[in-house]
Structure 1
Amino acid sequence: MVNRNVARSKNRWLLSGKATLLLMAVPCFVLLVAFVYLPLWGWSIAFFDYKAGLKFSQMDFMGFKSFTYMFKQPNFANVIRNTLVMSGLYFLTSPVPAIFAILLAEMNSKRVRQWIQTTTTLPYFISWVLVYAVFFSLFSVGDGIVNTLLLNFGWIKQPLNPLANPHIVWFFQTGIYLWKNLGFSAIIYIAAITSIDPELYDAASVDGAGRLNKIKHITVPGLVSTFLTLLLLGIGNLLNNGFEQYYLFYNAIVADKIEVLDYFIYRIGITMSDYSLSTAIGIFKTLFSILLITVANMIAKRVRGSGII
């Protein structure tokens, strides 16, 4: 009788769909282990004088020398400054996708709204190589489209060169990043707006509230939790600016302003073949990011009563 009950409970569990969901999660778990956890074995390179082609038994153990040598790099402080400045500018522009989503939601024409959303989301799926090619064709000094038009109209006397201007490179790169990610980032806020109870807007209309008051007292409060969650996740990526954008827009004139930590790791590891030092810098970046997200989560729990972890 007991065995029969056990068999029935197993059949119920299989028929309930939980087994199907578990099997669907298996490939994701395998990929997570293969591409996230197994590569952590490579962290051991930071503690050895790594040379390609040699076994660990043939390498000299250095301990934490790579980590101490990391801070002695002549331009390490400059790289950290560039990374923090770029991340700070990203944080300052983080409300822009939310504002853009609100403006889209307030549009009366569904066709125009869909067209704008599609055209602003499209750049997200364009590779950074093509993005660089577009901006190079627009702003190159020789035959750039923008310079050609401005010179022909007589609005400028000398061609502009924002691609090689160290004074505006931080703001220029922030603008490019915002242009590329604006539409895709707004999708999350659009989904949050659609989840707001429509009865709240109907009740506000009955009370005589206008469009601005509805945005102020209904839409914005409905987006606060989403915005704070994304902001806290962004704090954990404070040192992760990405690589492709800065690699492509890098040149000798703006090198001091555009070299961020991810590009610095590439230059040390691939260009200079110092794998131990580049791995140590990568470990430092990862551990610092974990510390930041932990502190941000603790602050969120104290302020809001709930965190993201």
Structure 2
Amino acid sequence: MLYFIIFDYIPMFGVIIAFKDISPFEGVSAIFTSEWVGFKHFIRFWNSYYFWNVMRNTLLISGYKLLFGFPAALLLALLLNEVKHTGFKRIVQTISYLPHFISTVVVAGLVMMVLSTDSGMINAIVVAFGGEPVHFLGDPAYFRSILVLSHVWQTVGWGTILYLAAMTGIDPGLYEAAKIDGASRLRQAWHITLPGITPVIAILLILSIGGLLNAGFEKVLLLYSPSVYSVADIIDTYVYREGLNKLNYSFATAVGVFKNILAMILILGANYVAKKMNQTGIW
């Protein structure tokens, strides 16, 4: 509770900066004394050259992560649920969710090492087959794929934990009855396991859609460069450059507020659709 109060609720007061012209050299008092400018900074962002580019990149990167990452965790959970050897199952679980505990900075460093043009493993294989080294992180054609694959690798194991926990609540008698009726393992997973964890799937999907505009600021910031801005520049990195690098606090705050309003609309819409489909929502 204390964490959320300090880092989430108290900072909400700063939203008023988006509706004022704040100079970083005027001090904290400028928040109260500066002139109100209404939606000036919002309009400036909407008319900005970067608007459609950062919106497209944010939605595409987040969409790819949701498209590939969400079912990957579910599929891994279903496969692990079918493993009967407890020792092997625990080893696979440990190896798969270990990357979740690795710092994003370390993950970015690993990606750079593996894809390095000088000593990277991938380029070593490319050269061994007679090709030329490829600057993967500086090529717009590869950057999004690298970002999504590293995200799936880092999160797939952790995402299976909730599904496996939900599967333990399914009545074992249903599986026994299915076996008596001659249902295969695949049929049991499709007609018993999946319906049994549908409420959990629905809640996690709603939360994932609500976070669709969070495309992974830290990893993008650590891996991108001006050569891939066209495919990598997202709302958060744009806010970082405008707010901290250029000291345009009011403008950066307005962009952040706009992003959060869209996120709220997405999560409310996803919850409404889930309710209409008679699925479990988050409220």
Range class of TM-score, shorter chain? over 0.9
Gaps of 5+ in 1: 1-27
Distance 2:214 2:138 in 1: 23
Q: CA 1:242–1:148 in structure 2 vs 1: closer, same or farther (change >3 Å)?
A: closer
Cα deviations across residues 139-169 of structure 1 (Å, max 9, x unaligned)? 1001212322442xx3242123322221122
After TM superposition, list the pairs within 5 Å mapping 1:178-257 onto structure 2: 178-257=152-231
Larger deviation, residues 269-278 vs 63-72: 63-72
1:79 aligns with 54
2:102 aligns with 126
* Letter matched to residue 39 of structure 2: F
Larger deviation, residues 200-209 vs 273-282: 200-209
Q: CA deviation at 1:194?
A: 1.4
SS at structure 1 position matched to 2:247: coil
Gaps of 5+ in 2: none
1:298 aligns with 272
Answer yes or no: is 1:41 the counterpart of 2:16: no
Distance 1:90 1:146 in 2: 22
Cα deviations across residues 48-84 of structure 1 (Å, max 9, x unaligned)? 1111243235423212111111112211110000011
Q: CA 1:32–1:135 in structure 2 vs 1: closer, same or farther (change >3 Å)?
A: closer
Contact 2:123 2:133 in 1 (8 A): yes
TM-score normalised to structure 1 length: 0.86
* Residue of 232, 239, 244 corresponding to 1:258: 232
Q: CA deviation at 1:131?
A: 0.8
* Letter matched to residue 11 of structure 2: P
Q: CA 1:197–1:100 in structure 2 vs 1: closer, same or farther (change >3 Å)?
A: same
Q: CA deviation at 1:187?
A: 0.7
- The alignment of Structure 1 onto Structure 2 pairs a total of residues equal to 279
Distance 1:199 1:252 in 2: 58
After TM superposition, list the pairs within 5 Å mapping 1:105-124 onto structure 2: 105-124=81-100
Q: CA deviation at 1:304?
A: 1.1
Cα deviations across residues 24-59 of structure 1 (Å, max 9, x unaligned)? xxxx2x333222211111111111111124323542
Cα deviations across residues 80-117 of structure 1 (Å, max 9, x unaligned)? 00011112112211111000011111112211111111
TM-score normalised to structure 2 length: 0.93
Identity of aligned residues (%): 35
SS at structure 2 position matched to 1:196: coil
Distance 1:157 1:305 in 2: 51
Q: CA deviation at 1:266?
A: 0.8
Q: CA deviation at 1:223?
A: 2.4
Distance 1:86 1:224 in 2: 26
After TM superposition, list the pairs within 5 Å mapping 1:45-56 onto structure 2: 45-52=17-24, 53-54=26-27, 55-56=29-30
SS at structure 2 position matched to 1:62: coil
* Residue of 89, 97, 120 corresponding to 1:144: 120
* Residue of 35, 41, 66 corresponding to 1:60: 35
* Letter matched to residue 104 of structure 2: W
